[in-house]
């Protein structure tokens, strides 16, 4: 299956478990690989026939900016559910990073893979 990707989508949000983290906005970075058959779009050269990565990005930016999760795990799961529920994506791989969260590392986070069949009924 083909994959449409978004790489290093940086968004400011409230995220973290410590009191001081609940009072500031921090950056998170999102990488997405979304399974989508691009052949029809390649043949037609029409935006209507493809997965609109700009629309996906705008939807996730809006959601993440408004969210106030404690854990990156919870934020990642909700972002995956939004994409699978609202866009024509059958499976995705999502990496959610929190830069600077651990001294000595560039980022920490989670990588999840989910499919439409993983969504609650």
Q: Considering 58, 78, 95, 98, which one is annotated as catalytic?
A: 98
Question: What is the predicted pLDDT for the residue at 119?
Answer: 78
- pTM above threshold 0.85: yes
Class of domain 3-118: alpha beta
What is the residue whose two structure tokens read 């001081």?
20
Cα separations (Å) of 70 from 18, 42, 60, 80, 81?
Answer: 8, 41, 17, 17, 18
Question: What is the predicted pLDDT for the residue at 61?
Answer: 98
Q: What is the mean pLDDT of each run of 10 residues along the chain (121 residues)?
A: 97 95 95 97 96 97 98 97 96 96 91 90 66
Question: What is the predicted pLDDT for the residue at 24?
Answer: 94
Residue 76 phi, psi dihedral angles, 5° rounding: -60, -45
Question: What is the predicted pLDDT for the residue at 110?
Answer: 98
What does the domain layout of the chain look like in residue ranges? 3-118
Question: What is the predicted pLDDT for the residue at 100?
Answer: 84
78 carries an active-site annotation: no
Do β-strands 3-15 and 68-69 pair in parallel, antiparallel, or remain unpaired?
parallel
Question: What is the predicted pLDDT for the residue at 121?
Answer: 66
């Amino acid at each position: 299956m083909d994959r449409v990707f978004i790489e290093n989508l940086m968004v400011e949000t409230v995220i973290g478990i410590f009191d001081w983290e609940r009072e500031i906005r921090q950056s998170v970075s999102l990488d997405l690989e979304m399974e989508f058959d691009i052949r029809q779009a390649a043949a037609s050269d029409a935006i209507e026939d493809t997965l609109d990565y700009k629309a996906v990005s705008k939807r996730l930016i809006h959601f993440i900016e408004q969210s106030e999760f404690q854990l990156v795990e919870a934020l990642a799961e909700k972002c995956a559910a939004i994409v699978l529920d609202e866009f024509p994506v059958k499976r995705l791989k999502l990496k959610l990073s929190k830069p600077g969260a651990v001294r000595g590392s560039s980022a920490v986070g989670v990588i999840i893979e989910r499919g439409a069949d993983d969504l609650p009924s």
